[in-house]
C-alpha cells in the first residue's frame, strides 16, 4: 500500500490541482461578464464624439455587441438584479470623461440541483470620448438584500487591449 501512495505523490509533484466549485465557476463567469462589458464600454467611448454624447450612449444602452445590459437607477438595480448578468447603474461626468458605475454577476450550478452559487461585483470605469482606453476599479455594490447563495466579490476584470495599427495604413503615409 505504501508504494501506491508514493506513486501518487510523485505523479502529483510539479502539477497544480485546480478545484472547481460553484463559487469559483460563478466568479469566473462574473469576471468574464465584466470584461465583456468593459470592452463594450470601450467601443462605445471610441465612437462617441464628446462627453455628453458618450454619457447619453451609455444611458441609452447602446453597447456594441452587448445588448442585454440594462441601464438602471440603484433602486431599480436592487429590485431587478436577480435577472441580470450586467447593468450600468450610474453615470457621472468627470473632468476627464464619463465615470460609469456597473454591476455584473455570474451563476454556476454544482453537482446537485440544489448546489448553485451566484457571485456578483461592482466596478467603476472611466471612459473618454473618442478613446478606447478605459480604466476600472472595484467598488462596493449598493446595499440590497441577498440570499444565502449570493456572494459579493472583488472581481478581476481584463481591460480591453488598445487598438493596434490600422492594417490598411501604409508605412510612410
User: Per the domain annotation, does 140 fall within a domain?
Assistant: yes
pLDDT confidence of residue 169: 52
User: Per the domain annotation, does 61 fall within a domain?
Assistant: yes
pLDDT confidence of residue 163: 59
- pLDDT bracket for residue 13 (50, 70, 90): very low
115-125 residue pLDDT tens: 788 899 999 99
- pLDDT bracket for residue 69 (50, 70, 90): low
The HSE-up count of residue 84 (CA atoms within 13 Å, CB side) is 23
**Contact partners, residue 76, CB within 8 Å, separation at least 6:** 70, 89
Is the pLDDT higher at 95 or at 23? 23
In whole angstroms, what is the distance from residue 49 CA to residue 51 CA? 7
pLDDT confidence of residue 140: 93
**Average pLDDT for the chain:** 78
User: Per the domain annotation, does 16 fall within a domain?
Assistant: no
| pTM for the predicted model, two decimal places | 0.75
78-82, 96-100, 162-166, range with the lowest pLDDT = 162-166
Q: Looking at the predicted structure, is the pLDDT value of residue 3 above 90?
A: no
In whole angstroms, what is the distance from residue 152 CA to residue 105 CA? 9
User: Per the domain annotation, does 81 fall within a domain?
Assistant: yes
Of the candidates 105, 100, 32, the residue with the CA atom closest to the CA atom of residue 60? 100
User: Per the domain annotation, does 49 fall within a domain?
Assistant: yes
C-alpha cell at 155: 472581481
Range of the domain at 99: 21-152
Q: Looking at the predicted structure, is the pLDDT value of residue 67 above 80?
A: no
Of the candidates 45, 153, 44, 41, the residue with the CA atom closest to the CA atom of residue 104? 153
Mean local confidence (pLDDT), 13-29: 71
Maximum mean pLDDT: which of 107-111, 114-118, 122-126, 165-169: 122-126
- Which contacts (CB < 8 Å, 24+ apart) does range 1-8 have? none
- pLDDT bracket for residue 172 (50, 70, 90): low
DSSP string over 110-164: -SSTT-EEEEEEEEEEEE-TT---EEEEEEPPPP----TTEEE-----PPPPPP-
User: Per the domain annotation, does 3 fall within a domain?
Assistant: no
Mean local confidence (pLDDT), 64-90: 76
- The total domain count for the chain is 1
C-alpha cell at 96: 476627464
Q: Looking at the predicted structure, is the pLDDT value of residue 58 above 60?
A: yes
Tell the burial category of 138 from Cβ atoms under 10 Å away from its Cβ (0-12, 13-18, 19+). middle
Q: Looking at the predicted structure, is the pLDDT value of residue 97 above 80?
A: yes
In whole angstroms, what is the distance from residue 85 CA to residue 70 CA? 9
Amino acid at each position: 500500500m505504501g508504494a501506491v501512495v508514493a506513486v501518487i505523490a510523485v505523479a502529483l509533484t510539479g502539477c497544480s490541482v485546480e478545484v472547481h466549485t460553484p463559487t469559483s465557476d460563478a466568479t469566473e463567469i462574473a469576471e468574464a461578464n465584466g470584461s465583456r462589458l468593459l470592452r463594450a464600454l470601450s467601443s462605445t467611448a471610441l465612437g462617441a464624439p464628446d462627453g455628453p454624447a458618450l454619457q447619453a450612449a451609455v444611458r441609452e444602452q447602446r453597447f456594441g455587441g452587448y445588448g442585454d445590459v440594462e441601464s438602471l437607477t440603484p433602486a431599480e438595480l436592487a429590485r431587478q438584479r436577480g435577472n441580470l448578468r450586467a447593468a450600468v447603474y450610474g453615470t457621472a461626468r468627470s473632468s476627464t470623461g464619463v465615470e460609469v458605475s456597473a454591476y455584473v454577476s455570474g451563476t454556476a450550478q454544482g453537482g446537485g440541483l440544489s448546489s448553485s452559487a451566484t457571485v456578483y461585483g461592482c466596478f467603476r470605469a472611466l471612459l473618454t470620448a473618442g478613446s478606447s482606453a478605459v480604466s476600472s476599479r472595484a467598488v462596493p455594490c449598493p446595499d440590497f438584500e441577498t440570499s444565502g447563495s449570493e456572494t459579493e466579490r472583488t472581481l478581476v476584470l481584463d481591460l480591453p487591449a488598445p487598438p493596434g495599427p490600422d492594417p490598411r495604413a501604409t508605412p510612410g503615409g
